[in-house]
Amino acid sequence: MRKNRLALAMAMACPLLAAAQEAPGKSLGVVTITADQPTSLPTQIPATMEGIAREQIEQTINATDSEDTLKYFPSLLVRKRYIGDYNHAILSSRASGTGNSARSAVYADGILLSNYLGNGVGGLSFPPRWGLVTPEEIERVDVMYGPFSAAYPGNSVGAVVEFTTRMPEKFEAHGKASYSLQPFELYNTDETFRAWELAAGAGNRAGDWAWWFNVNRTDSESQPLTFPTRLVSQGTPGNAGTPVTGAVLDRNNANQPWHVLGTSTQFHTRQNHLKGKLSYDLTPAVRAAYTLGVWQNQSFGNSQTYLRDAAGTPVFGGVVNIGGRSFPALTAADFPLTDESLTHFMHGLSVKSHTQGTFDWEIAASLYDYDKDLKRQTAGSNLPPAARDGGPGTIADGSGTGWNTLAVKGTWRPFGTKGAHIVDAGLQQDSYKLDYVTHAAVGSWLSGPPGALVSDVGGRTRLRSAWAQDAWAFAPDWKTVLGGRFEHWQAYQGRTRTPALTTLYPSRSENHFSPKAAVSWQFQRETLLKAALGRAVRFPTVQELYGATSTANAQFLNDPELRPERSWTFELSAEKPFGNVLTRLTYFAERTRDAIFSQTIFDPLANRNVSRVQNVGRIDTQGLELVANGTEVFTPGLDVQGSITYAHSIIKENDGFVATPGDTIGKRQPNIPRWRATVQAAYRWTPQLTTSVAARYSGSQFRTLNNSDVNGFTYQGVSRFFVVDLRARWQATRTTSFAFGIDNVNNDKYWNFHPYPQRSYVLEAKVDL
């Protein structure tokens, strides 16, 4: 798998740290696709790219969701909290944290999966639509770091991820069953949570037609993700309230003592996935393709109390007395119940030529539709256990929300594929629509129809772009890529409506141009030097501009005057093989003005999390990234890969503040650790048996702009972590394989606002025909 890549690198001294015989090769730091199913990532940018292929995923990664395939990529982290995490699994990169989902771009076969209706998880949640891709259908995953291609919007400032899924050349069929187990101990919780997954897929090519389908069923239980609390300082000495036991004394992220009273947001999610792909060769050089994706989710969020009265009865509400102090009354904001029912559709249509001659072209369109998006939640006065049978609540309806894209692209090779110039150019339009209406439920929150209006928020944004870039091999050992992207952005039809007030926001529009440049130099026979510089403009999302929302336990405050982020990103890399080990050292730097952040703080008086979006004047980031990838290291059959990243990301300017003016200046950017590292070793004992061990490390970090959250090892904190993962895969027969894995084998208890999974076991059985 890696041998072919190593031979290519040794021959060309241009290593590609991707793992597969079908992976792209590189010359002068430029990717050259040789597989039958090329990635949609640009193939002419001498910037940092990493990749992994299906064979390595199967052998070395406990991949229960598509985002798991990114576990060991340099400088990347996905904030996945449990199997099937559909609303918080956000991708972070070198200079973009886990609160900034709009600073990365995720695609599947060129179809946008990133959700640019919003950013992060304040109020509503906007992670990429990972559920529209399952691990079983992935052929390859490629990542481009930084905004160095003019073909992508400014959201690519962090990274561009491209999933390439299967499209067979002959008949094939696959089936997989997996079972996961997570014993979880935290505070007074000691339970085991489970997940089951079933998947099947098949495809074939017959003449000019090819087809593929994949179905997947996930039934997953999460660990508790949030916890009701009361600060010790909120207590009033005396005998008022119901005397209770069971509260756990801990410290919050500011190191203040508080009582943990129970658990909430413990999900049980059932998800169905269907993917169908159909292609037809209109001519030997022109192919039309259609993709349909369907994702359904039924999720129930539960709450439990640790508190017991003198008779041992669970206590969910009212004023309570802990150790001779009475505390503010418990409400459904402490112990909410939720019931979500979602059905989303994805459509993709493309017609493209692949002559590899003087000119090729492509027309592509996609649509993502929230066909059904309902969230039912208990009202503040409706407490368990009675609330489990009904009572007052709200119904939030996002049905009709979604986005669509349209792109026209051409590639001109005036001197052929080996000529000095290859020019790419295109036109794009990306349109986003948010409609989110909340009503009080009539009768029962579980089944009642919508009643009185609580809030109605929504709006539209549209981005129209024209771009071009020229890959120019101007000398035998040199290549440069020069490009630019012009963007016209509009925000319109914004509204925030409540029973007391209706606000209609004026339309806005802005124009921006983002130049791009990259160069590579074959400095020595086995040493390649590369540099890239790019500007990126990340425009505000609909939710950030207009999406004010409020529930019993959370509130989001919008800002219709948000300014777009403007970033300049630079990287300088050296690539060189040392024996069987391919290495890359990259210096990266980024300056972002008017960075957009949504900060969540807990308001103990209102007893809920409050998120507010704002611009931050200037953030400067510098860092180093060292990557090594070895095949047959020390002994035949042993492959090793690893990475270490150092990032120094500091807020340099900011008119806003958290508690006092100037309290964010000189502080570290939230959710960016100074150090992070990965290492993975895989050993092929026989052609049938492979085992692997991997480790992931992330240093301490902060979640708040003023870095006041000094205690990371608690609810709402962000902690350092060191996690070891194991996997063994046995190819029992030509068509049957089994795998067993343990994630977090050392059972590290770590946090990113919510607790991450503890030690988890995965068992898989797979049939390939």
- pLDDT for residue 605: 63
Six-digit token string for 67: 């985002």
pLDDT, one tens digit per residue, over 473-482 is 888 899 999 9
* Residue whose C-alpha is closest to residue 594's, from 556, 554, 630, 544: 544
- pLDDT for residue 23: 36
- Per DSSP, helices labelled H in 238-354 are none
pLDDT at 163 over 90: yes
* Residue whose C-alpha is closest to residue 354's, from 295, 288, 418: 288
CA distance 730 to 332: 49
Three-state secondary-structure class, residue 419: coil
CA distance 484 to 175: 45
Q: How do beta strands 91-92 and 242-243 pair?
A: unpaired
- Per DSSP, helices labelled H in 115-250 are none
Q: How do beta strands 318-322 and 242-243 pair?
A: parallel
Mean per-residue pLDDT over the chain, rounded:
90
pLDDT at 36 over 80: no
Model confidence, pTM: 0.91
**From the CB of residue 14, how many other CB atoms can be counted at a distance below 10 Å?**
27
**From the CB of residue 507, how many other CB atoms can be counted at a distance below 10 Å?**
11
Specify the residue for token string 């150019």.
Answer: 425
Q: What is the mean pLDDT of residues 40-52?
A: 80
Per the model's pLDDT, the better-predicted residue between 474 and 592 turns out to be 592
For a pLDDT cut of 70, what percent of the chain falls above it? 91
Six-digit token string for 77: 């982290």
Quick one: DSSP state of residue 707?
-
Three-state secondary-structure class, residue 701: coil
CA distance 724 to 747: 9
Q: How do beta strands 554-557 and 549-550 pair?
A: antiparallel
pLDDT at 103 over 80: yes
pLDDT at 15 over 90: no
pLDDT at 223 over 90: yes
pLDDT at 180 over 70: yes
For a pLDDT cut of 90, what percent of the chain falls above it? 81
- pLDDT for residue 44: 72
Q: What is the mean pLDDT of residues 696-717?
A: 94
Q: What is the mean pLDDT of residues 600-625?
A: 79
Across 47-56, 76-85, 746-755, least confident range: 47-56
CA distance 467 to 485: 4
Across 19-28, 34-43, 347-356, 590-599, least confident range: 19-28
pLDDT at 31 over 80: no
Three-state secondary-structure class, residue 109: coil
Q: What is the mean pLDDT of residues 72-92?
A: 95
CA distance 709 to 284: 60
pLDDT at 639 over 70: yes
- pLDDT for residue 419: 75
First CA to last CA distance, the chain: 21
pLDDT at 33 over 50: no
CA distance 246 to 75: 41
pLDDT at 609 over 80: no
Quick one: DSSP state of residue 3?
H
> 638 forms bridges with which residues in the sheet?
683
CA distance 528 to 14: 6
Confidence of residue 694 (pLDDT cuts 50, 70, 90): very high
Q: What is the mean pLDDT of residues 729-749?
A: 96
- pLDDT for residue 673: 96
R_g over Cα of the chain: 26
Confidence of residue 495 (pLDDT cuts 50, 70, 90): very high
282-287: which pairs have CB atoms within 8 A and are 24 or more residues apart?
Answer: 282/208, 282/351, 285/353, 285/354, 285/355, 286/351, 286/352, 286/353, 286/354, 287/351, 287/352, 287/353, 287/354
CA distance 740 to 738: 7
DSSP string, 333-350: TTS--EEEEEEEEEEEEE
